[in-house]
Structure 1
Amino acid sequence: MKKIMFNDKYGLTKAVLEGRKTQTRRIGYHGTFKRYCNCGFCLEGADKNKLFINDGNEVVAKSKFKLGEEVAIAQRYIDLAEDDEFYRLCGIHGMPLELIKYEKGCDNKMFVKADLMPHRIRITYIRVELLQNICEEDCLAEGIVDFESRINKAHFYSITDESATYETAKKPYSLLIDKIAGKGTWDRNPLVFVYEFELIK
């Protein structure tokens, strides 16, 4: 099983576990096309159900995840200290609990084992689009926080519930993607794989 990482600094893992975040965009291709861009799902072999980005007949990018695939949500072991399912999975997979604190995954989720992760998502839809083509509704599905004013019922949007607010959801999303994928990502407007998913555990 593969794992997927969401940014903890900006509350994205929490947003997934709360069911507020149901989409993620990952850079697909930022080069120029020599011929023309087309996309399609692979129908057979090891890449079956992966989405390809093609330049004419040449594959230039493949989605990391497949349609229908279950993916483990990476979390540091230390953050799972109170999770009974984590302890159960450690027992099933032969991970001695007394050794967890010595594992690299204790403080760094890059090194966690997918089989030990108690929470999973299922990929329900994959598509390709230019990053800046994201709509307001999809910004909310990406975990942008929606605040409603008590005074005039106006809506304001932010990256987390503790950060600056903006009049549109797209503005904080553009700032968020630059923080996660690198400064200037929004302005470069690359093709991205859009993964829609559901929380299954």
Structure 2
Amino acid sequence: MRELPILFSAPMVRAILDGRKTQTRRVCKDQHLPGHKPSLLECPYGKPGDRLWVREAWRVPVSLDDLSGKRIAEKCLQAGYRSPWCPTQYEADGARTSEKDWREFGPHPSTTAPGRYRHARFMPRWASRITLEVTGVRVERLQAISEADSIAEGLLRDREGWRGAPDLPWFASPLAAYRSLWESINGDGSWDANPWVRVVEFRRIEQEAKAA
């Protein structure tokens, strides 16, 4: 079993936490010639049974703002902890580790304000709160997605229909809503390009940090 990182935006993190998102599609780098299907052996997201740890936007106490995630880990180990750790806040939903710990790390006992914004790409393994188990991997054209799979990508549903994220429009069709979500992430025209994508199916197996 391997553990591999995977990055998600805030709306998709919330969809995972809500149990709405159990699939993700990522453009294959090896598009090759028309009609040539990229190999599953080259999938950077593992195979069934492997685990993915989610990278998302995060913050730590302002007292640690000058330190990178790697340096925080080093100082933690130097202090005698068995594994890297520090109070963490997650941008997707504002969830934090223990408020008591936040007070201890703050510049003043009554100050628990978070520090600077840290992009998801800079999240180290120790700070990740979401771990996923890969249950399936396949390669297909983007537009081959079904309505059921569109919904499994984490769509929101209301009386007005479907949409991919809170800031996107509503659509009557899950497919149209997913197309809107895809293009909001990958740019105008990316749907019409109909690239080969790797479809990664997963289930959430743990939550490593919870709001206090």
Normalised TM-score (structure 2): 0.66
Offset at residue 6 of structure 1 (A): 1.2
Contact 2:139 2:197 survives alignment (8 Å):
yes
Contact 2:55 2:121 survives alignment (8 Å):
yes
Offset at residue 162 of structure 1 (A): 5.4
Write the distance in 1 (CA, Å) between the matches of 2:125 and 2:86. 16
Write the distance in 2 (CA, Å) between the matches of 1:79 and 1:182. 31
Contact 2:141 2:195 survives alignment (8 Å):
yes
Pair 38,172 (structure 1): closer, same or farther in 2 beyond 3 Å? closer
* 2:50 corresponds to which of 33, 50, 69: 69
Residue number in structure 2 paired with 1:137: 148
Write the distance in 2 (CA, Å) between the matches of 1:21 and 1:94. 29
Q: What is the identity, as a one-letter code, of the residue corresponding to 1:2? A: L
Offset at residue 109 of structure 1 (A): 1.4
Contact 1:6 1:12 survives alignment (8 Å):
yes
Q: How many pairs are equivalent?
A: 162
Residue number in structure 2 paired with 1:3: 5
Pair 113,130 (structure 1): closer, same or farther in 2 beyond 3 Å? same
Q: Deviations over 1:103-154 (max 9, x none)?
A: x8x52111110233121001110011100111111111001112246xxxxx
Residue number in structure 2 paired with 1:186: 191
TM alignment of 1:157-172, pairs within 5 A: 157-161=162-166, 163-172=168-177
Pair 185,79 (structure 1): closer, same or farther in 2 beyond 3 Å? farther
Uncovered stretches (5+) of structure 2, i.e. residues with no partner: 62-72, 88-104, 107-113, 207-212
Write the distance in 2 (CA, Å) between the matches of 1:20 and 1:92. 35
Offset at residue 158 of structure 1 (A): 1.0
Uncovered stretches (5+) of structure 1, i.e. residues with no partner: 41-50, 53-61, 81-88, 150-155
Q: What is the identity, as a one-letter code, of the residue corresponding to 2:170? A: T
TM alignment of 1:73-92, pairs within 5 A: 73-78=54-59, 91-92=81-82
Q: What is the identity, as a one-letter code, of the residue corresponding to 2:17? A: L
Write the distance in 2 (CA, Å) between the matches of 1:65 and 1:37. 20
Aligned to 1:125, the other structure's residue is in SS state strand
TM alignment of 1:1-201, pairs within 5 A: 1-8=3-10, 11-28=11-28, 29-33=30-34, 37-38=36-37, 51-52=40-41, 62-67=42-47, 68-78=49-59, 91-95=81-85, 98=105, 107-148=118-159, 156-161=161-166, 163-201=168-206
Moved over 3 A (4+): 89-92, 94-99
Contact 1:144 1:158 survives alignment (8 Å):
yes
Contact 1:2 1:114 survives alignment (8 Å):
no
Aligned to 2:173, the other structure's residue is in SS state coil
CA RMSD of aligned residues (A): 2.9
Contact 2:38 2:196 survives alignment (8 Å):
no
Offset at residue 79 of structure 1 (A): 8.1
Q: Deviations over 1:70-118 (max 9, x none)?
A: 11111333289xxxxxxxx97542345559x77x8x5211111023312
Write the distance in 2 (CA, Å) between the matches of 1:186 and 1:79. 37
Pair 117,37 (structure 1): closer, same or farther in 2 beyond 3 Å? same
Q: What is the identity, as a one-letter code, of the residue corresponding to 2:53? A: A
Q: Deviations over 1:41-72 (max 9, x none)?
A: xxxxxxxxxx23xxxxxxxxx21111111111
Residue number in structure 1 paired with 2:110: none
Contact 1:140 1:146 survives alignment (8 Å):
no
Identical pairs, percent: 26
